[in-house]
Structure 1
Amino acid sequence: MSQTAQKANGWLVGIAVLCGLWLIQNGSDTLLVPPQPSTAESFAAGPQLQPGSPVAEPMRPSEPVRIRIPGIGVDAPMMRLGLGKGGGLDVPPDGNRNIAGWFKDGIPPGAKGTAIVAGHVDNAQGPSVFYALGALKRGTRVEIDRKDGRTAVFSIDAIEVYDNEDFPDQRVYGDQPHASLRLITCGGGFSEKTGYQGNVVAYAHLAEVR
């Protein structure tokens, strides 16, 4: 396993842990249950492109600066996220409901390989940037503006939810021959004692470059 893959593995494990504790520390008294992925939008077996879906050539690496998902009302700036001392992800600021982060030591969105982007599902004030991630449909477009002035346009291939104990590391962050994207937030069941019990993951591929 490469050094990048090892870091990605530690980061994803960290997401599951942080999601379980985050709402306990910052949750409001009235809980709004985020939408959960429909089985109709999931993969039957492993990540794969939808038949006939256009696939764009990978772009040169460039830092992402903004993410838009018009289908669920997302329009947010992006920030770099590294690994904390414990090996988990340094999450975006708790108080900012409209910001997403990308793993700065991994693949930038649009470049060849698998790029990882994470965002909170909620905070003490209510829904956050990826609250509606579970409501995505196959074919939904995700636009990511980059520092090089170009926009990477991704097409959603599937949306799935996993329990923390059964998070499929290789399936989510494993290398791909094209430019791939994973959007991750907290989800699944919720416990007042331990918080969210899993993660919602949206799989996408680069379909267009603008």
Structure 2
Amino acid sequence: MSSSTRLFGSGRRRLLASAATVLLLAAGGSLAVGASSQHHAPRPPASAGLPPAGPSTAPAAGSHAPDPAGSPSGVTAPPAPSAPADLAARAVTPTAISIPAIGVHHTLLSLGQNPDGTLEVPPMSDVAAPGWDRNSPVPGQVGPAVVLGHIDGTTGARGVFYALGALRPGDTVSVTRSDGTVAVFRIDGVDTYPKDAFPTLTVYGNTANPQLRLITCGGRFDRATQHYLDNTVAYATLTGTHRG
């Protein structure tokens, strides 16, 4: 573990950026690489899952979700979103994230797209560092803001989102922003999905209110491919903002 029309972008642009995320994660991207000794991270129980109604999402007009089940050679990456003139004017950006329930307190990297259209991920040299997908909304703005983090590293070190599956509905996530404000979110649910059945619209579809998606790898570690087979996703909704 790279924007928008006006401040938080058109739904289509967000969906295209999200599709790049799906391509990476479903194809066994860098978030999945880890030491085989680190495949016993907490798994969310069914009781912690997102309610059946799911988040308030809707596909962008004229857009569709790509099929996330495929290999890098079998899935065409969506076109990278054009860089609108207002990108430089988007003065507020997320700078840090705090998730007290799992002991996460860290600055946020800003992640873009790789030349091949896949989503950049935080460097494996520092698996403690989470990153915000800057093609998604700024946390606290309308839509699903996306933050990615590693589950572990090649040396066996636990990543920043190793315990993501231990979150429970009602836990809080605070995102500090560059204007000195803090956006506070409440966890709605945590689910784990096979990478070949990733629910694109549920995770990345447009929302009517500010939401947050925290994403890492999970499930069983495949020693043959050196990747995890699933993705763990925590869903959260904005409850308020305050000065830092």
- TM-score band, normalised by shorter chain: 0.7 to 0.9
**3-state secondary structure, aligned to 1:205:** strand
Question: Helix, strand or coil: the match of 1:122?
Answer: coil
Cα deviation code 1:106-159 (max 9, x no counterpart)? 211111111011000000241110000000000000010000100000000000
Distance 1:153 1:131 in 2: 21
- Find the counterpart in structure 2 of residue 82 from structure 1: 112
Select the residue among 197, 200, 204 that pairs with 1:166. 197
Number of aligned residue pairs: give it: 197
Amino acid of the residue matched to residue 235 of structure 2? Y
Partner of 1:180: 211
Compared CA separation, residues 31 and 16, structure 1 to 2 (3 A): same
In the alignment, residue 14 of structure 2 is paired with which amino acid? T
Q: Distance in 2 between matches of 1:48 and 1:30?
A: 34
5+ long unaligned stretches in structure 2:
1-10, 57-89
Kept after mapping to 2: 8 A contact 1:107/1:115? yes
Q: Take 1:113 and 1:179, find their aligned partners in 2: how far apart are those partners?
A: 5
C-alpha distance in structure 1 between counterparts of 2:183 and 2:215, whole Å? 18
Shift of 1:86: 2.2
Question: 2:44 is aligned with what amino acid?
Answer: P
Give the alignment partner of residue 116 of structure 1, picking from 129, 146, 150: 146
Secondary structure at 1:127's aligned position in 2? coil
Structure 1: distance between partners of 2:98 and 2:237: 15
**Identity score, percent:** 36
User: For the residues of structure 1 that align with 2:194 and 2:232, how far apart are their CA atoms?
Assistant: 9
Task: Give yes or no for the alignment of 1:16 onto 2:47.
Answer: no
Paired residue for 1:71?
A: 101
Aligned-residue Cα RMSD (Å) equals 1.9
Paired residue for 2:135, among 105, 108, 112?
105
User: What code does the residue aligned with 2:146 have?
Assistant: I
The alpha-carbon deviation at position 207 of structure 1 amounts to 0.6
Separation in structure 2 between the aligned mates of residue 189 and residue 90 of structure 1, nearest angstrom: 23
Q: Which is further off, 124-133 or 135-144?
A: 124-133
Alignment pair present for 1:40 and 2:47: yes
Encode CA deviations 1:66-113: one digit per residue, 9 max, x unaligned. 000010000111011111122211111111132111111221111111
Q: Which region of structure 1 is more displaced relative to structure 2, 14-23 or 182-191?
A: 14-23
CA distance in 1, matches of 2:36, 2:212: 34
Cα distance in 2 for partners of 1:44, 1:78 equals: 29
Report deviation, 1:179: 0.4
Deviation of the 1:160 alpha carbon:
0.2
Structure having the higher strand fraction is 1
Q: How far apart are the structure 2 equivalents of 1:169 and 1:15? A: 11
In 2, the alpha carbon distance for the partners of 1:11 and 1:76 equals 22
| Post-superposition CA distance 1:160-179 (Å, at most 9, x none) | 00001100010001111110
Cα drift, residue 33 of structure 1: 1.1
Find the counterpart in structure 2 of residue 141 from structure 1: 172
Rounded to whole Å, the distance in 2 between the matches of 1:112 and 1:13 is 24
AA aligned to 1:176 is T
Measured after TM superposition, the shift of residue 30 of structure 1 is 3.1
Tell me if the contact between 1:155 and 1:204 (Cα under 8 Å) persists in the aligned partners.
Answer: yes
SS of equivalent residue, structure 2 residue 215: strand
Map of 2:223 onto structure 1: 192
For normalisation by structure 1, the TM-score amounts to 0.87
Where 2:54 maps in the other structure, the secondary structure is coil
